[in-house]
A = this chain, B = another copy of it.
Amino acid sequence: MLLARTLDEKFASLYRAGKIHGGVFLGRGQEALSVAVGLNLRKGDVFAPLIRDQAGRLAFGETLLDAARTYLGSALGPMRGRDGNVHRGRPREGYLPMISHLGAMIAVVNGTLLARRFKGVLRTVGATCIGEGATSTGSFHEAINQAAVEKLPLVLVIANNQYAYSTPSSRQFACTSLADRASGYGVDAHSVDGTELAACLSVLAEAVERAREGHGPQMVVARLLRLCGHGEHDDASYVDPRLKASPLGRDCLKVAEQNLLSRQWADAVTIEGWRCEAVHKVEEAVATALREPTPDPYKENWCALASKHLVETHPEV
């Protein structure tokens, strides 16, 4: 999670320096939850992260270079400049690239799990993350219900970070907790304080394990606060200061550090060392990506079909 934070901060500073085209979306304050998802998955599992999941992506095995290349538009990145920023993945490795339309990834994860059932591949799970705002989409509902009907090993992680862009949760839903939705689908629910790494790790471990053991979809609802703007263009001035001051507003990374220190699992020097190492790795990846070629429109084949022989040609100008 330290590495994710460091990478995010680098992207933010590149954004401020005008070095990134389009938006930058950070996971600040959500690293504990996100990393807990990634860490509990294994090779062969499926992961469809969303915009605030840098930590989970890295934990699942994404390289810093993939991230840097996509944000910086390197032609060598997994999306080759065709798509950017958080819209990246490697489907062949079970790492699905999000589309922007919120809620759309869940059913796709279901489909990968259905396929595994067809193929007789057992004991793999699929996890995906979503914000509380996206629980209002029809896609969310159709997909979690689908997973429940098919009893799929889906782990659906909802980060209730109190805001969807500027919209507070009170304008998004009227239930006490989103975990109250689980029984209406017939799926298990887990709630967790998203600012506590240890809690996230153990709750996710349990949820992933239950899914793996065949207990059907697991819904995890985490309480936390988005500690940044919606994107880096947004100063988030609308965030209620009382929320910032509340336990929800704690920075999960600081909490985790404090924990390490107070339990004497690490001292300040060690942590500083990790930080330096993270900065170093991030700088290296970014420097590499920055040196790389950007996509060349003349080399681009402009071809949206895999069946090349069926591509229409339009009169050239």
Q: Please indicate the chain B residues that have their CB under 8 angstroms from the CB of A145 in the complex.
A: 136, 173-174
Q: Which residue of B lies closest to A140 (CB)?
A: B141
Q: Please indicate the chain B residues that have their CB under 8 angstroms from the CB of A178 in the complex.
A: 184
Q: Which residue of B lies closest to A142 (CB)?
A: B138
How far is B259's CA from A242's CA once the two chains are assembled, in angstroms?
Answer: 60
Q: Within 8 Å of chain B (Cβ to Cβ): is A255?
A: no
In the complex, the answer to whether B184 meets A180 with C-beta atoms within 8 Å is: yes
In chain A between 124 and 138, which residues have their CB closer than 8 angstroms to a CB of chain B?
A: 136-138
In the complex, the answer to whether B148 meets A137 with C-beta atoms within 8 Å is: no
Within the oligomer, what is the number of copies of this chain? 2
Q: Please indicate the chain B residues that have their CB under 8 angstroms from the CB of A87 in the complex.
A: none
Per a CB cutoff under 8 Å, which of B151, B172, B184 touches A183?
A: B184
How far is B175's CA from A141's CA once the two chains are assembled, in angstroms?
Answer: 13
Q: Which residue of B lies closest to A151 (CB)?
A: B174
Q: Please indicate the chain B residues that have their CB under 8 angstroms from the CB of A139 in the complex.
A: 138
In the complex where A138-B137, A181-B184, A183-B184 touch, is A149 in contact with B175 (Cβ < 8 A)?
no
Q: Please indicate the chain B residues that have their CB under 8 angstroms from the CB of A175 in the complex.
A: 148, 183-186
Most buried by B among A139, A146, A149, A151: A149
Cβ of A59 to closest chain B Cβ, rounded Å: 30
Q: Within 8 Å of chain B (Cβ to Cβ): is A171?
A: yes
Q: Within 8 Å of chain B (Cβ to Cβ): is A187?
A: yes
Cβ of A154 to closest chain B Cβ, rounded Å: 12
In the complex, the answer to whether B185 meets A174 with C-beta atoms within 8 Å is: yes
How far is B138's CA from A146's CA once the two chains are assembled, in angstroms?
Answer: 11
Q: Which residue of B lies closest to A135 (CB)?
A: B145
Q: Within 8 Å of chain B (Cβ to Cβ): is A176?
A: yes
Q: Please indicate the chain B residues that have their CB under 8 angstroms from the CB of A141 in the complex.
A: 138, 140-142
How far is B149's CA from A184's CA once the two chains are assembled, in angstroms?
Answer: 18
Q: Please indicate the chain B residues that have their CB under 8 angstroms from the CB of A172 in the complex.
A: 149
Q: Please indicate the chain B residues that have their CB under 8 angstroms from the CB of A185 in the complex.
A: 173-175, 181
In chain A between 106 and 161, which residues have their CB closer than 8 angstroms to a CB of chain B?
A: 136-142, 145-146, 148-149, 151
In the complex, the answer to whether B171 meets A149 with C-beta atoms within 8 Å is: yes
Binding site for B on A (CB under 8 A): 136-142, 145-146, 148-149, 151, 170-176, 178, 180-187, 216
CB pairs A–B below 8 angstroms (6 shown) = A140-B141, A149-B173, A149-B174, A174-B187, A175-B185, A181-B184
Additional A-B contact list (12), CB under 8 Å, known A174-B187, A175-B184: A136-B142, A140-B141, A141-B141, A141-B142, A145-B173, A148-B173, A148-B174, A148-B175, A174-B185, A178-B184, A181-B181, A184-B184
